[in-house]
Amino acid sequence: MKDQAYLSMPAFTATCCLGNGLASLRSSLLSQHTGLVPCKFESVDLDTYIGITNITEDKVFLSAELQDFDCRNNRLAYLGLQQDDFIDAVEKAKCRFNKTRIGVFLGTSTSGMLQTEKGYRELDPQTGALPSWVNYRFAQNTCSVAHFVRLALGLDGPTAVVSTACSSSAKVFAMAQRMLLLGVIDAAIVGGVDSLCLTTLYGFHSLQLLSQNPCMPYDTYREGISIGEAAVFALLTRDDSYTPPGSLLIKGVGESSDAYHMSSPHPEGLGARQAMQSALQQARLSAPEIDYIHLHGTATKNNDAIESIAVSAVFEEKPPASSTKGATGHCLGAAGALNVAIGALALQQQVAWGSPGTEELDATLSPIHYLIHNVARPVNHVLSNSFGFGGSNCSIVLGLKD
């Protein structure tokens, strides 16, 4: 693995509250536009902001063979797959590789839980049974989204879903990397799909972690997170002679577990440091070779404080760093893949992104070079952080092929 860790990322796409596909995402990041809006979702009565996508309720949106999977999460996945010619890229991969050797590895947190939540409103008063239209296997089941995407893309390779909260869709890059390097597969579809539901909104509210205003990562007056939803996909292959110069590469993936607390990170950022150091080691890079850090940056008091401690400890020379969750919201199980996509755009645009929503950097945080506004600069390597509940950490180094 040490000799051949680099992966090629020939195609990727992202759909979130900033729009469908990369053009909308890129344009919004360049203008530092936010997609967060006051919460008007289902029956939710909370004073907060959310990042919501425009998902059609058209009954014929999904083809007949996909109808069993119909739920908000899989509709979001299908919407995401339609963008940026991603399906065409997968078709080309199917011409190069056998479809049984293309894996699908996705991250999510609540999958299609919204369908079951709606079903509880119609419980049978005699038996307590959910209504027949609630399809647990193909909607709420965590693996539903990967099963759905594999079927939608006509693939027959191995499939898995990682559900480790906010690091879920970053850790699938590591899973695909292992499968590719072991020779089990020749290509992989990775990413994350996580849609809004009542449980996440009320759950984070009960934890007193929701912001009443659009979130303000690393800001003195940050109040907490704004929850968003997203569908992000990337095609991965081995970095070989087919990979042209200038192509996007996944150069290193570092994982760690705090094993400290069910929801709080290690107070000294130990696990976060280990994940970043492991990613750098696998990428065969030193800390000064990172040109931009795309932070996890949720805008909670604790997360931002601990992440700043960890970043400050790893990077003696402080590269520019920022969080874009003030634009997209925190997309939970899709956040890791969305961070990677935004990091890839930083490489393509040669821009270190600013931090929409942040106005005044919290001076009590450990010293990092935090960007509030975009800065055009040479960007050869990006480090992307994703840290989940329970101290599940994943850092990814992206670069361009020489």
Instruction: Tell me the per-residue pLDDT of 106-156, one tens digit each, with 9 for 90 and over.
Output: 999 999 999 999 999 999 999 999 999 999 999 989 999 999 999 999 999
**381 part of the active site:** no
Short-list 182, 158, 161, CA closest to 172: 161
Residue 370's φ and ψ, nearest 5 degrees, are -90, 130
State residue 48's pLDDT score: 98
Short-list 400, 31, 384, CA closest to 192: 384
- Cα(164)–Cα(275) distance, integer angstroms: 15
Residues 190/231, Cβ–Cβ less than 8 Å: no
Catalytic residue among 16, 17, 39, 166: 166
State residue 3's pLDDT score: 47
**147 part of the active site:** no
Catalytic residue among 147, 266, 294, 330: 330
Residue 4: pLDDT band with limits 50, 70, 90? low
Statement: residue 298 has pLDDT above 50: yes
State residue 262's pLDDT score: 83
Statement: residue 160 has pLDDT above 90: yes
Residue 383: pLDDT band with limits 50, 70, 90? very high
User: Between vectors from CA 14 to CA 12 and to CA 18, what angle results, nearest 5°?
Assistant: 150
State residue 1's pLDDT score: 44
Catalytic residue among 17, 296, 331, 394: 296
Distances (CA, A) of 174 to 85, 183, 279: 25, 14, 10
**33 part of the active site:** no
Residue 265: pLDDT band with limits 50, 70, 90? confident
Give the mean pLDDT of the chain: 96
- Cα(161)–Cα(172) distance, integer angstroms: 8
Question: If you count them, how many residues does the chain have?
Answer: 402
